[in-house]
Structure 1
Amino acid sequence: MMFKKQIVIDPVKANLVNRIAANSRLVGNLEFDGGVLLHGCIKGETATIKSGPLVIPSGGVALGNIIVYGDCYVFGCVGDPASPESEVRLEVHGTIHVADGAKTYGVLACRNLATYAGCEVNSKVVTIHDNAPSTGATE
């Protein structure tokens, strides 16, 4: 018998204080203090998430250049298969968890990458080393 590993996120402990609702779209230079629950879409020229995780549920989409000082949990989609790799970069100074049913495109830069059965990683993966400053640039 095979058991699926479950990802459990406590919104209070995770400091998820910002929510982008389904069918909402934020575009531009964005900065969040605390974690973000992304049911809608963000497209950051530069989107920075300080002191909390980015959680992308099924149906949520992250596009552009996004920097997360924490972990990222992907149940939805990072990037767009129709966009060039250079247009999507998710930089996470922690662990990116890509769950069953999630899809990623573009560049994933992170300290650690955790993938789960059933996910699709169609991305270039770049390792961020400890104490590395955020560059926001593709290597």
Structure 2
Amino acid sequence: MDALKNNPDVLTLDPLAMGIEHRVGPGGRLEGLLEFDEGLLVQGSLSGEIIVRGHLIIWDDGLVKGRVVVHGNTYVFGRIGETFESSEHARLECHGRVCIANGAISTGSIHAASVMLYHGADLRGPVSTFKQDPRLHQQQVDASEEQPIEQPREAQDRVEIHDELDQLFSRGRPRTPVFSR
């Protein structure tokens, strides 16, 4: 499912269709050499040498620093790098698209196939782009052809989205949640 399919000003995320299987919850902290074989949602803190073999979502209070390689798209609502650190402390290499939302902060360096900034995003570090891997594009096309179980809905506020995330990760394999921000 392409998060920007219907309206480029609204970012719609479907964690199950995106393959988000891993989570660093609120208040959680992981450090070191970390590898995730599927997508990852960060609501806490993640630092070190990190490889994500799927999509990465950095939520509102999420913080990611260190060297991060993402083999999917990255959606930033929180922070890449500490607020007052230089770009050396956080480097994101994304083989897909990086979307930096309103209120998100990036002091780290970003190297991606493409970058999309939303009005109100705070970009303080260097950004560069490279040619996208055609295999990743095919995976995105395949994922966009999947039909969600429910019709998408737009969340009215962040509380609704946080409740949806808590429900998603608090019990086994839930119904397919689809929400927008």
TM-score, length of structure 2 as denominator length: 0.67
1:20-99 paired onto structure 2 within 5 Å: 20-44=24-48, 46-50=49-53, 52-99=54-101
Map Cα deviations across residues 24-57 of structure 1 (whole Å, 9 max, x no partner).
Answer: 110000000100000001002x10001x210011
Q: What's the offset of the Cα at 1:4?
A: 8.4
Corresponding residue number in structure 1 for 2:104 = 102
Higher helix share: 2
Residue number among 2, 9, 12 corresponding to 1:5 in the alignment: 9
> For this pair of structures, how many residues does the alignment match?
127
Report the secondary structure of 2:88's partner residue: helix
2:166 alignment partner in structure 1: none
CA apart distance, 1:82: 2.4
SS at 1:118 equivalent: coil
Higher relative contact order (CA 8 A, sep 6+): 2
Q: Where is the strand percentage greater, Structure 1 or Structure 2?
A: 1
CA distance in 2, matches of 1:111, 1:98: 14
Q: Deviations over 1:89-125 (max 9, x none)?
A: 0110000000011110120010100000111111101
Change (3 A) 1:5 1:130: closer
The list of structure 1 runs, each at least 4 consecutive aligned residues, that deviate by more than 4 angstroms after superposition, is none
Structure 1: segments with no counterpart, 5+ residues? 132-139
d(CA) in 1 for partners of 2:112, 2:71: 10
2:52 maps to amino acid: I
- The aligned residue for residue 136 of structure 1 is none
Q: Contact 2:110 / 2:126 at 8 angstroms: preserved in 1?
A: yes
With structure 1 as the length reference, what TM-score do the two structures score? Answer: 0.87
Q: Share of identical aligned residues, percent?
A: 31
Contact map agreement 2:56 2:73 (CA 8 A) in 1: yes
Give the whole-Å Cα distance in 2 for the aligned partners of 1:130 and 1:10: 22
Which one has the largest radius of gyration? 2
Decide whether the 8 Å contact of 2:83 with 2:105 is kept in 1: no
